[in-house]
Amino acid sequence: MTALDWTIVFVMYAIIVATVVMTKRYMRGVTDYLAAGRSAGRYLLTISAGIAGLGAITVVANLEMGYQAGFAMSWWGLSMALVQMIVTISGWVNYRFRRTRALTLAEFFERRYSRRFRIFAGTVAFGAGLLNFGIFPSVGARFFIHFLGLPETWHLGSLVLPVFPSIMAVLLITAVYFVFAGGQVAVMITDFIQGAFANLVFLILAIYLLLLVGWGDVGEVLSNSPVGHSKINPFDTGYVSDFNFTYFLIGVAGLMYGAMSWQGTQAYNSSARTAHEGKMGGVLGLWRGRSQDVFMTLVPILVFTVMHHPDWMGFAAKITPQLEGIENEAVRNQMRAPLVLAALLPAGLMGAFAALMVGAFISTHNTYLHSWSSIFIQDVVMPFRKTPLSPRTHLRLLRGGVVVVAIFIFLFSLFYKQSQAILLFFALTGAIFAGWSGAVIIGGLYTRWGTTAAAWSAGIAGVSLTLTGLVLEQSQRSWREAGVAFWGLLDFLGPENAARGAAWVNENLPNGQELWGWAMWSCSGVYIAVSLTQRALGHPSFDLDRLLHRGKHELAGETEKGTVKVGRNWRAIGITGEFSRRDKVLYLLTWGWNVTWVLIFTAATIFFLTREIQHGDWSRFDSWWLGFWHTKIWIELAVAVVVIVWFTVGGVRDVKALLRALAKKDRDEADDGFVSRDTPD
């Protein structure tokens, strides 16, 4: 890191801190703290939520996954395009949730099911979120240590302090201050600044690294992959573990089932100015990540190239000893790409990437600190009260929750030893809540026949299944521990049978993604079966119109007034009377872009599945695949240039509109998430 690089990092840090100081006066009530006064526009929502859901840990995780799976991973990712488009542009789940005006998901559960179920759901969401969030600080801190080449200790006078916890502490304290000062208002605005900066840096880095390494070297390395391990041909990846076709098939199902299930960025679900504005923010989200997606797809391949190409042998020889010095295999895999990038990037770009990662670390941590602490206070503590809290006491509790969460994840990161890929850990811990909540959310928003008993049944089944999987995963490396807990009987059948049982467990135990898939199907079945059984026994229907503020329950200002006439054919693809002409054009462009890639995916998949391949040798198609990926990358980069300018201008306009709205807004102290009438169990 040169003086220029450090300057870039500190300027970025100073800008976001100054922004918090200047905007904290706009946060004047509980609704402002929890949901930015429900005043956010579409561009602000999509850029801020995008970087909030990214984070330093997600960058490291995707670089780790891409190194293993290569371009083939992205092909199966295209299978998600149609489903993702339908889910997003239809406003699936998100639109109806915003219509409920609930400030948290579990508040909606109380309004739809019962107060006791709200407490159960809030507790599970909070617990799963803490486990999931627990490794964020450690992964981020390790990135900075290895990327910046920092020593293990630093000196403060006569004191010798370890660098690892020091970095975690500094960045966590910054994130805590952001939430303390301005709640969701500060979180959202600083996330926007960091998101706009990150999109630009991702674009520049992707172009620079591609030109530096060269596509010719990439083609030479990737064409030499053994049969079944191709990183360019998705039909020749039979031996790729974990990040394979099954991983993405489950992901496709999860796009619809898991819409809004994960609550790490839950405040964004409630912050939109209207339900339609939130829906359009989702549509824009399908365009926002162009430069980010190219970076996540391309850079791991470039890292793989320089570590395996003969012309880069001298370079790889310098990186390998650094990797071998990391004892933990999981951490070693995570740090490979950061170490390579640290050696490849010149002054200026080195600092820009470091600043991007500082911003990504802070943006995700302040958002998650805000989310999990809010869920704990709103959905675990507050429902036990018979009367609402005063605004002052309420804000004190919310801020106190932030400190508790920050202390927990700091200690968890210090002592937890990672044993698997980051994304698989995310899937495993996330499934504790997301594995069952999808069935309860969809059933609650879209059916009148979904019952409280069904919600309880699905929740208990999902938690039981996923916690069992979590315990098994943590113990699978020690057969004796797993045998005592689950397979003790085999000890009585002889050591050979015990060893055979151990091997069976290690080979067949589902990873985090597969466990999530099992939870989705089983919990959906339980919810439907219990609901329909109760319906057959005469259980009354639920009043959805009241929950969604429709018809006679309509609230002023909650529905947009469109400027175009909408016929039946337009409604069939999700265009409603709330659309303006610009909305309609954007909608059609989004359909066209995504349908084009789906058609390419479908045609190529049919073509390759109908080929006769001798002895699994797909090498004759390598040049075609290399050409396809090269072309796709440059198309995406060209689109990214337009999107960055377009979204940054729109986002600046939305920030100004948000601050104007908050400055003149009348606060309703009763709008704090407290539900005065308990729905009976």
DSSP string, 112-149: HT-HHHHHHHHHHHHHHHHHHHTTHHHHHHHHHHHHHT
List of residues 6+ apart from 639 with CB closer than 8 A: 287, 290
**Rounded to whole angstroms, how far apart are CA atoms 112 and 96?**
13
Query: Is residue 474 packed enough to be buried (19+ CB in 10 Å), middle (13-18) or exposed (0-12)?
Result: middle
Residue in the block written with tokens 């041909």:
233
Which helix (DSSP H) or strand (DSSP E) does residue 654 occupy? helix 622-664
671 Rama class: left (phi>0) / alpha (psi -120 to 50) / beta: beta
Q: What is the pLDDT of residue 424?
A: 66
Are the C-beta atoms of residues 365 and 172 closer than 8 Å to each other? yes
The one-letter amino acid code at 397 reads: L
User: What tokens were used for 552?
Assistant: 């006679």
The secondary element (H helix, E strand) that includes residue 290 is: helix 290-308
pLDDT, block means (10 residues), the chain with 681 residues: 91 92 89 91 91 79 78 72 76 87 90 93 91 86 85 79 88 92 92 93 94 90 75 67 58 78 84 88 86 90 90 89 81 85 92 91 90 92 88 92 93 78 70 87 94 95 82 53 47 54 52 73 93 92 90 76 65 75 87 86 83 66 87 94 94 94 85 68 44
Query: In the prediction, which pLDDT does 578 show?
Result: 81
Bridge partner list, 55? none
Tokens of 547: 């929950």
Q: Where are the alpha helices (DSSP H) in 152-274?
A: 163-213, 215-222, 245-257
Q: Which residues lie across from 153 on neighbouring strands?
A: 162
CA 555 – CA 579 distance, rounded (Å): 19
Contacts of 2-8 with CB under 8 Å at 24 or more apart are 2/347, 2/350, 2/351, 4/347, 4/348, 4/351, 5/347, 5/348, 5/350, 5/351, 5/354, 6/351, 7/351, 8/348, 8/351, 8/352, 8/354, 8/355
- Collapsing DSSP states into helix, strand and coil, what is residue 348? coil
Give the residue from 38, 53, 45, 121 showing the smallest Cα distance to 444: 121
CATH numeric code, 3-418+645-661:
1.20.1730.10
What is the pLDDT, as a whole number, of residue 680?
Answer: 44
Tokens of 577: 């009377």
- Residue 451 has a pLDDT of 95
Amino acid (1-letter code) at residue 520? M
CB atoms within 10 A of CB 641: 14
SS3 229: coil
Euclidean distance between CA atoms 200 and 81, whole angstroms: 24
Q: Which two tokens stand for residue 602?
A: 């479908």
Q: Where are the domains of the chain?
A: 3-418+645-661, 420-539
| Three-state helix/strand/coil letters over 382-414 | HHHCCCCCCHHHHHHHHHHHHHHHHHHHHHHHH
- Distance between CA atoms of 151 and 148, rounded to whole angstroms? 9
Phi, psi (deg, nearest 5) at residue 538: 100, 15
Residue 485 confidence (pLDDT): 47
518-556 CB burial, b ≥16 within 10 A, e <16: bbbebbbebbbebbeebbeeebeebebeebbbeeeeeee
Sign of CA dihedral 86, 91, 96, 101: positive
